């Protein structure tokens, strides 16, 4: 939402604007930011119980080129035409994080973790020790500092309460 508010990307932008490897792909070139965010991109899922191949490697949290972002970008198949059906997709979430991070390239926010801390969490009184995301790991892929957004998050009870309060008040924190 911050990237949308900052006009870094739009919901109907083609994802390839931020993931250039997809520009000439017959199916992935049609995927939009909205479709990544709503699980309608057509990208297959990789659940932790999957055994073998790209699906297993996705969850091993290896360094590039066997990292989950490169796997999501280059190996994840498209199961249906983007926008025509729904399929929860952890790799799709990874590509959303990739696109958001790419949209901030060259800015003061080098990764999603920094963006969240500086733009939201410090304003609601969260310290860096109050939360974590991305299994505590940052991947360097294509000059981007990528943080997993599909799991690995943890919040202290106090942090969860503050985030919940922020959501209940639709983003308003003490009048801001």
Fold classification of 2-168 is Beta-lactamase (3.40.710)
What confidence tens digit (pLDDT) does each residue in 56-79 have?
999 999 999 999 999 999 999 999
Question: Against a cut of 0.75, is the pTM above it?
Answer: yes
Tokens of 94: 């990874």
Grade residue 49 by pLDDT with cuts at 50, 70 and 90: confident
Element (H, E) at 36: helix 33-37
Instruction: State the Cα–Cα distance between residues 54 and 82, nearest whole angstrom.
Output: 21
Distance of CA 110 to the CA centre of its chain: 14
pLDDT at 105 over 80: yes
Rg of the chain on CA atoms, in Å: 16
Q: Please name which of 3, 21, 25 lies closest in space to residue 13, comparing C-alpha atoms.
A: 3
What confidence tens digit (pLDDT) does each residue in 110-131 have?
999 999 999 999 999 999 999 9
């Amino acid at each position: 939402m911050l990237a949308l508010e900052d006009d870094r990307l739009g919901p109907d932008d083609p994802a390839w604007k931020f993931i250039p490897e997809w520009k000439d792909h017959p199916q992935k070139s049609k995927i939009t930011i909205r479709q990544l965010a709503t699980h309608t991109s057509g990208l297959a899922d990789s659940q932790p119980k999957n055994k073998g191949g790209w699906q297993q490697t996705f969850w091993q949290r290896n360094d590039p080129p066997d990292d989950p972002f490169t796997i999501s970008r280059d190996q994840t198949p498209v199961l249906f035409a983007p926008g025509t059906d729904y399929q929860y997709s952890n790799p799709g979430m990874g590509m959303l994080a990739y696109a958001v991070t790419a949209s901030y390239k060259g800015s003061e926010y080098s990764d999603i973790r920094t963006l969240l801390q500086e733009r939201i969490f410090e304003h609601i009184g969260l310290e860096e020790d109050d939360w974590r995301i991305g299994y505590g790991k940052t991947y360097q892929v294509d000059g981007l500092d990528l943080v997993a957004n599909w799991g690995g998050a943890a919040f202290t009870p106090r942090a969860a309460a503050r985030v919940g309060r922020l959501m209940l008040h639709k983003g308003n924190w003490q009048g801001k």
